[in-house]
Amino acid sequence: MSPKNYLGSFYILFVCLFGINLFRLVWTSDIARYDYYRVYHVELSTQQHVALFQQLEEKSDSCTFFGHARHPKQKLTIMVAAHKVADFADLLQTYDIKYDVLSYNFQEIIDRNLAEVLSKDIDPKSMDWKHYFHLETIYSWMNFLVQEHPNDLAIINIGESAQGIPIKGISLKKNKKDNATTIFIESGIHAREWIAPATTNYIINELLSSNETEVQRLAENYNWIILPIVNPDGYKYTFEGDRMWRKNRELFGICRGVDLNRNFPFHWNSTGSSGDPCRYDYSGPSAASEMETKQLIKFLQENLILNNIKTFISLHSYSQMIMFPYGHTADHVENYDDLSAIGRKASEKIKQVSGRIYKSGSIYEIIYPSSGGSKDWAHGELKIPITFSFELRGPPDSKDLFILPAAEIESTAQEAFAAIMTIIEESESRGYYS
């Protein structure tokens, strides 16, 4: 054998072995996979359809519901496990239910998304709005920013998560007056909604480096407390275990996790949450049972007066909505008319900026009843007057669900920040900060 042929054979052998090992690595790893899981968008035309789908959500752990069946003429997105596709298709046909298939293989969407994540050990200066980032990178980036802006920025550590990870954020304090108003933003309470922390990171960067006069004015007149990932255990698990994980990682027998946005002590567990630890919207064994909830409550109670927090924003995805309290009841909050008008202005702003349609209204009115959410507690209990939560991109019938393509991070963050600026300007003009 010539040396060239010898090397060639060695190369082929290497590729075969490496290929087999790579194959084994993918298929024997402990990471959740969604190969050939289908995403359906169904239309419930009759009361019978509603009843059937309520039963299906209750009984099946192979169908993941994004929203609950509540009334006829409702559209609902459901992910169906590969082995249940035939049964589900039969159900649709038998009861004459209209539907679209949004995705035939959800793993493809996840694979595309994982390729948009930069490695954990990159230089934190490489933070951008074209990729998604690990928790470790986001924390290193915040440390880097504080070193760069030591007079205005500080790291905030509100305490540890259930699994002992510090919950960190940034405090931006250019206005040194004692009575300066603070804007509070939290995101990442739901682990899989990666666009939310990506958006808060963009906002931090804009407040520090934008040349726009209005951004500079808001950065200088107001103080900002921003917590990009209030559920760090869950966020980490979406990279290392299951990309579709939503809750924290507390252990309850055979299942893990509390939906932290159902765990706040305000009309806790009264509607739109589950008492079952194996469900995605488990409200926890008691109100504020979770470390993450406790830390956030303690921090806000201690800083409400001290930092004059007058606005509370929480970022989620997806569905393109701007919502204000309450979630547990159709009753109006005392400043309903103001919040309603401010929300409307914020959605109009988004339409001008990007053409995207964001629906605005109270949580109860425009999404579905839910209780124990952070913004309901912030408004109802802490009495923070301006309280909004966003459902960022994509649209309600998105085929990507929570897996927004990284190419859309920057435009999503831009429109969300424009809407938040509008909320502040409108609240200012209505006298909320004086």
| Contacts with Zn ion, residue ranges (CB under 5 A) | 190, 316
Nearest CA among 193, 204, 194 for reference residue 226:
204
Of 186, 391, 415, 426, catalytic: 391
The number of angstroms, rounded, from the C-alpha of 401 to the middle of its chain's C-alpha atoms is 11
CB 176 within 8 A of CB 235: no
Closest approach, Cβ 360 to Zn ion, in A, equals 17
Nearest CA among 65, 83, 84 for reference residue 75:
65
Closest approach, Cβ 152 to Zn ion, in A, equals 30
Closest approach, Cβ 417 to Zn ion, in A, equals 19
Q: Which is nearer to Zn ion, 190 or 379 (CB)?
A: 190
Closest approach, Cβ 194 to Zn ion, in A, equals 11
Beta bridge partners of 328: none
Q: Which is nearer to Zn ion, 316 or 349 (CB)?
A: 316
| Sign of the Cα pseudo-torsion (40, 46, 47, 51, in order) | negative
**Dmax (CA) of the chain:** 87
Q: Which is nearer to Zn ion, 191 or 304 (CB)?
A: 191
Q: Which is nearer to Zn ion, 215 or 401 (CB)?
A: 401
CB 37 within 8 A of CB 80: yes
Eight-class DSSP state of 309: E
Closest approach, Cβ 190 to Zn ion, in A, equals 3
**Rounded Cα gap, residues 119 and 199, in angstroms:** 19
Closest approach, Cβ 192 to Zn ion, in A, equals 8
**Rounded Cα gap, residues 359 and 315, in angstroms:** 15
Q: Which is nearer to Zn ion, 168 or 190 (CB)?
A: 190
**Rounded Cα gap, residues 327 and 304, in angstroms:** 22
Closest approach, Cβ 261 to Zn ion, in A, equals 6
148 is catalytic: no
Kindly give, in sequence order, each residue whose CB lies less than 8 Å from that of residue 354, ignoring residues fewer than 6 positions away: 411, 414, 415
Nearest CA among 363, 317, 318 for reference residue 340:
363
Q: Which is nearer to Zn ion, 168 or 316 (CB)?
A: 316
**Rounded Cα gap, residues 346 and 359, in angstroms:** 10
Q: Which is nearer to Zn ion, 188 or 343 (CB)?
A: 188
Kindly give, in sequence order, each residue whose CB lies less than 8 Å from that of residue 391, ignoring residues fewer than 6 positions away: 316, 317, 318, 319, 320, 321, 323, 367
**Rounded Cα gap, residues 206 and 414, in angstroms:** 9
In order of 145, 345, 391, 403, the CA distances from 233 in angstroms are 23, 35, 21, 19
Q: Which two tokens stand for residue 118?
A: 């930069």
Instruction: Tell me which H or E stretch contains 322.
Output: strand 321-324
Active-site positions read 391
